[in-house]
Amino acid sequence: MLRRSFVNCPPHILKHLYEAIIRSRLEYCCIAWDPHCESHKNIIERIQKRCVRMMCSDWETSYEHLLHQMGLCTLEKRRLYYRLVACYKLQNKLMLVNYEHKFTYASRIGRNDHSLKLNIPFARTDYYMYSFYVNTARDWNKLPQSIINCPSLKSFKRALKLHLQIA
């Protein structure tokens, strides 16, 4: 649709159209339905790959280089970012969700762990193993102490973007 409707638009206009129309649909409720199968991730990423190549009118350069050139990052990184922001909001009671039975703090904290380490819930099924709570607890525990201790949501988002190298 973008290619047919906006043939002679400059790349920065196409980028804004992509972010408003296409990426917003790809990221809708991404915290809840974050795919775990590589084939599903590749299908979603392929849409962004095609759009980025179309915006730059470059079909030979590597996808990663074009993402960097356009100031974008992979959709998988963005889903990780949104999951960790949601976890921060849950930890600091900025969301009206009852999560106490899902996230519990670890009783044993190692030398390299941060003070808000979460227990990774036991999962018998793949359905639960790749759910929001288990995946997010695993990724939350990998964050450094300096990011976890951010006093506000704004500073947490800024530090997390720097840590994940999101433009």
pLDDT of residue 163: 94
**Short-list 89, 59, 57, 62, CA closest to 154:** 89
pLDDT of residue 144: 92
pLDDT of residue 128: 76
The residue behind tokens 């849409």 is: 47
Structure-block tokens of residue 143: 């964050």
For CA atoms 95, 97, 103, 107, the dihedral sign is positive
The residue behind tokens 């100031």 is: 71
Tens-digit pLDDT string for the chain (167 aa): 556 666 677 888 888 888 888 888 888 888 878 888 889 889 989 998 998 888 888 888 898 998 898 888 998 999 999 999 999 998 888 888 776 667 777 777 777 777 788 878 787 887 777 878 888 888 999 999 999 999 999 999 999 999 998 86
Structure-block tokens of residue 72: 């974008």
Secondary structure element (H or E) that encloses residue 98, with its range: none
**Residue ranges of domains in the chain:** 2-71, 78-164
pTM recorded for the entire structure? 0.85
pLDDT of residue 12: 84
| Terminal-to-terminal C-alpha distance of the chain | 26
Per the CB < 8 A criterion, the answer to whether 132 and 31 are in contact is yes
DSSP 3-state percent helix, strand, coil across the chain (nearest 5): 60, 0, 40
